[in-house]
Chains A and B, each alone.
Chain A
Amino acid sequence: MNQSWVILGASSAMARGFARRVADQGGSVFLAGRDMDDLRASAADCALRGAPVAEALVFDARKPVGFQAIYDRLALEDGMLNVAVFVGSMPDQSDIDKDPSLIDGVVTDSFTGPARFLQGFAPMIEERGGGTVVGVGSVAGDRGRIGNYVYGSAKAGFATYLSGLRNRLTRAGGHVVTVKPGFVDTGMTWGLPGMFLVATPDDVARDILKAVEKKKNVIYTPFFWRYIMLIIRHIPEAIFKKMSI
C-alpha cells in the first residue's frame, strides 16, 4: 500500500532523519514548514533516495489559514495518509520570565497549532479507514521543572491531546504514536549545558518508525528515558519543589 507522510516542522534534524528513512523505504513525503529553500533541498534529497513523491509545503503553526492547502494537496494521494508532527519552540525560560507574552508562541508552536492541524486531518484518516499520527512531545512534558516549565506544559497539553485523538482514531482503524524524546543532539540542544545520554536525531527517527510498525502508543526514545521519567514522576511534590533538575 502507498504510504504518504506529511511532516510538520520538516526542517528540524529529527524530522529530516525521519523523512530520509521514510524515503529509503519508498514512502512519499510532504515536507511542511517555513524555510522553503531548506525544505526544497530536503525534498530533493528524499526523491533521490527513493520517495515516489517528495514536495515542500508551507506550514506555519501560527497561521492556521494555510492548513487547508495541505489537506487539499494530500487528498490527491492514494493510499494511506500519515502525519508526523515535529514542531515546537523552546525559548530560554529566563527570556519568558522577562517577557511573558512569549508563552503564547510556545503554546501555539508546541500544542495548539499542531492540534488544530490534526483536528482537520483526523477526518481524512477516518475516511480512509487507516493511517498513523506521530506526535513528538518531550520528556519535559512529564513534569514541570524550573528550567523549562512553559515548554513542558505545552508538550504536556499536546500529549494529552494525542491521547484523546488516539481514543478517537482507534475506532476508525487509525493509530496515534506519542513520542517522548530525551536529550537529542539537535540545533535546539546545541551548546546547552547539562546534556547527558544524548541521542542522535537518526536514532530517534529509527525508533519512531519502529514504533509505527509495531503500533506502539507511547514511546520514550532512547528507551531508558521511560525509567528516568518514571523515577522523576514519582518524586513526591514536597521534595520535587525544592529540587533543581
Chain B
Amino acid sequence: MRWKTAEYTGWGRVLKATGDMARPERVSALKSLWADSKGPAIGNRRSYGDVCLNDKGRAIDMTRLNRMVAFDPLTGILEAEAGITLGEITQVFATKGWIPHVVPGTGFVTLGGAIANDVHGKNHHGAGSFGQYVNRINLLGANGKTRIVTPGDTPDLFKATIGGLGQTGVILSAEIQLKPCASAIMDVRENRAEGLDEFLAMLDRSTATYCVGWIDATAKGSTLGRGILEEAEIRDHTVQAKLSRAKSVPRDAPSFAMSAPLVRLFNALYYRRVPQDGRRLDRPMQDFFFPLDRIHNVNRLYGKNGFHQFQCVLPDATAREGLAEMLRAISKAGLASPLAVIKKMGPGRAGFMSFPMQGYTLAVDFQNRPRAAGLIADLEEITLKSGGRIYLAKDALTRADSIAEMYDELPDFTRVVNAADPKGVFLTDMVRRLKLRKIKP
C-alpha cells in the first residue's frame, strides 16, 4: 500500500494538516498495512475543525471501503462498511421502504464518521442520536485484532466508540437499525416566527417528527431571533416532487460574498420567501434532509480562508436567556452568514462524548475573519455560563478546560480509550488540542 503525503482539511478549511494518508480499497489491504503502520481512520472529512486531522502523522482514508454487506428485510437491520455515506444508504433504501433512523444535515457523512461523532438530525427531540441505533461495531484495535463491540457485551468500549472521535480504533463496519418509511417524499410545513420568544414557543408546541428552524442571525431589536420553522412528516404515499438540480461552486467566492450588508439582504429575502401565514409543500427526502448537498463544494462560498461553525446546546432552563444573549452578540458583531439553525433537542445520546442534551441547539456559520474567533470565544463563555455544551464535530477553537467542564463523562472516556489504545496510535489534532487524553508522545 502506497502512502500519499498531502495537505488536507476538515469541512471548515481553517485548520490544516499535512501527513501521510493511505486509502485501502480492500479490507485485506488495510490489515496488511496495519502490521507496520497504524493511524486514526478518517472518512469524508465533513467534520468542520480538527476531528479528522492528524498533522505530521498518518491517517487511513476509509472512503473506499463502502459496501453494504447484509440486510434483513424482516428486522430492518443493515450491516455496512464504514466508508459508505448515509446519503447512499438513504438513496438505496428509501425506495425499498427503509431509511436510517437518524441522518445529519449532510448525506456525505460516512457511516464511520456518523458513529465516531454520534451525529443527530432534525428528529433528535424524538428519535435521539445516531449511536442509539447502532447494534454492533467491528473495530480494528491498536493491537491489530478485530473486536465486536456491542452495547450489551462491551458497554464501556461501545460508549467510548460512539462519539469517540476514532480513539478506540478503526471502525471497519457496523450494524445499524433502519426504520420503515412509506415514501421518499416529505410533507413540509413552513411558518414564520417573528422573534425569538415566538420561535421557541413554536418549537415547544410542535408535534412534528422532523422539526428544524432557520434563524436570521442578522436580525436585531424586536425582530431578534426571527426565522422560519420547518416541520415535516414522511408522506404515507408517493407523490411527484422534483429534486432540485445539482449545482457546484466552481471556485472560492470573494470575501465580500459574506459581507454584512449582503447577508442582511439575503436573509430578509429568504425570510419573506415564506408567506406570512405559512405554506405547505412536498419535497424529496434528500432535499429535505440534505438541503446543501445538491450544491457541491458549497463551503467555497466562504472564501479561501474557510469558515467556522459554532454549535452549542443549552439546557431548557437557561436556553431562552442564553440564546438571546448569543443572538445579540452575533448581530452586533455583524459576522453572521445566512446559515443559522435552531432546533429542540431531546436527551438522547449514546456515547461518553456525545453532544446532545435536553434543550435547544443553535448552529451558526462564520466566515474566518479576524474578529470571528473573538466572537466565538464570547459564545463559548455564554455556553459555559448556561451549563451547555459545544459540538466537537464542528469545533476548531474551544479551550481544553471548557470542554472538560462541558463533558462530565470525559474522565470515563479517557480511561476507556487509554486502556484500548495505550500508545496513542489514534491521537488526532483535536484530541491533542483539547487534551482529551493524557498520553506522552
Contact = CB atoms under 8 A, between A and B. Distances in A.
Contacts of A69: none
Given A35-B28, A48-B71, 6 more contacts: A12-B25, A38-B26, A44-B68, A45-B69, A187-B25, A191-B3
Given A49-B92, A190-B2, A191-B2, A44 B26 contact: no
A13 B64 contact: yes
Given A13-B64, A41-B81, A191-B4, A48 B28 contact: no
Contact of B92 (A12, A42, A48): A48
Contacts of A187: 1-2, 23-25, 29, 64
Interface string B1-34: 1111100000000000000000111111100000
A211 B132 CA distance: 45
Interface residue tally of chain B, by bracket?
Answer: 20 to 34
B70 A44 contact: yes
B180 to A, nearest CB: 16
Interface in B57-101: 64, 67-71, 81, 92
B4 A44 contact: no
Contacts of A48: 68, 71, 92
Contacts of B1: 187
Nearest to A38: B26
B69 A41 contact: yes
For the complex of A and B, 3 pairs with smallest distance between CB atoms: A191-B4, A45-B67, A191-B2
A44 B23 contact: no
30 contacts: A11-B25, A13-B25, A13-B64, A35-B26, A35-B28, A37-B27, A38-B26, A38-B27, A38-B28, A41-B27, A41-B67, A41-B69, A41-B81, A42-B67, A44-B67, A44-B69, A45-B68, A45-B69, A48-B68, A49-B68, A49-B92, A186-B25, A187-B1, A187-B2, A187-B23, A187-B24, A187-B64, A190-B4, A191-B2, A191-B3
Interface of A: 11-13, 35, 37-38, 41-42, 44-45, 48-49, 186-187, 190-192
A124 to B, nearest CB: 29
Contacts of A45: 67-69
A45 B81 CA distance: 10
Contacts of A38: 26-28
Nearest to B22: A190
Nearest to A50: B92
B36 to A, nearest CB: 16
A10 B20 CA distance: 27
B68 A37 contact: no
A37 B4 contact: no
Nearest to B29: A187
Given A41-B69, A44-B70, A45-B67, A190 B92 contact: no
Interface string B285-306: 0000000000000000000000
B23 A190 contact: yes
Contacts of B23: 187, 190
Contacts of B69: 41, 44-45
Nearest to B79: A44
A50 to B, nearest CB: 8
Contacts of B2: 187, 190-192
A44 B4 CA distance: 30
A37 B65 CA distance: 13
B219 to A, nearest CB: 42
Contacts of B25: 11-13, 186-187
A186 B70 CA distance: 25
A19 to B, nearest CB: 10
A35 B81 CA distance: 17
Interface in B374-395: none
Nearest to B23: A190
B28 A37 contact: yes
Contact of A11 (B4, B26, B81): B26
Contacts of B26: 11, 35, 38
A33 B189 CA distance: 51
A218 B324 CA distance: 64
A192 B24 CA distance: 15
A98 B185 CA distance: 61
